Structure 1
Amino acid sequence: MLYAILAYHVESELLSWTPEEDAAVVAKVIEVQAPLRASGHLGPAARLDDTKKARTVRGPGAGMVLDGPFAETKEQLLGFHLLEFDTEDEVIAAVRRLRQVNPTAVYEIRPVKLFVPADGFGATPAEK
């Protein structure tokens, strides 16, 4: 089963980190990701750019392009991981390891219904 792990932060707190603080957290996250990647459980992961640079397309036809997301929340979606595990317990354990090194993050675990495989990740054994 594929799971999207959505990482939420209070963006102003994350942006207040010094480059050294940010690099230290990123290095720890990469350490946690390494065994997940080596075991084939980790697919794409990304850190999203500032929400002020985001655009939303909404409305009929081609849609209207609007500035940013308009969520009324203190936490913003700032990144994601795509993980593949057989059980929910396994993915929760992996997310807890991520949280140990990034304790200010809030992680939402969402099963993925549709995935177009890339580089073999998420493909069935016959497709690999």
Structure 2
Amino acid sequence: MRYMMIIHHDHEAMAKAPQKELWAEWAAFNEALNKAGAGFSGGLRLTPGKEGTVVRNRAGKSDVLDGPYADTREQLAGYFFIDVDGIEQAVEWANRCPSSKYGAIEIRPIVEQNAP
């Protein structure tokens, strides 16, 4: 089953993390993802939420807002994809992700193309 692993982390906690060790962990984690085979992809990092733009269209009116969608400590930081037998293995990969120490990894199944 394919899963999208959505990384949410606290930017303050990440800023306080030992950077050299953190990026070494990320390099090793991405290497493991890339070696895991088809259906896996190394993580992609996003800029901080404050650099994003949110667009909402309601009743024909478009609102364009600067900054993150919600004012929370944890912001969407990146994502990666895995292809494993089930949720137990997905949880194992989430625990291996370096950002799990500084926020949360949301695991979302991918809807198969033939699904209703």
Compute the TM-score of the two structures, normalised by the length of structure 2. Answer: 0.77
Over 3 Å counting, the alpha-carbon distance change for 1:14 and 1:35 in structure 2 is: closer
RMSD (Å) for aligned C-alpha atoms: 2.4
DSSP-derived class of the 1:86 partner: coil
Q: Which runs of 5+ in 2 are unaligned?
A: none
Aligned to 1:27: 24
Q: Which runs of 5+ in 1 are unaligned?
A: 116-128
Identity of aligned residues (%): 26
String of CA shifts for 1:76-114, please: whole Å, max 9, x gaps. 111111111121111111112225x75223111111226
Compute the TM-score of the two structures, normalised by the length of structure 1. Answer: 0.71
More strand by share: 2
CA distance in 2, matches of 1:55, 1:105: 22
Aligned to 1:64: 63
1:36 and 2:23 are equivalent in the alignment = no
How many residue pairs end up in the alignment?
111
Conservation of the 8 A alpha-carbon contact between 1:33 and 1:42: no
Over 3 Å counting, the alpha-carbon distance change for 1:62 and 1:48 in structure 2 is: farther
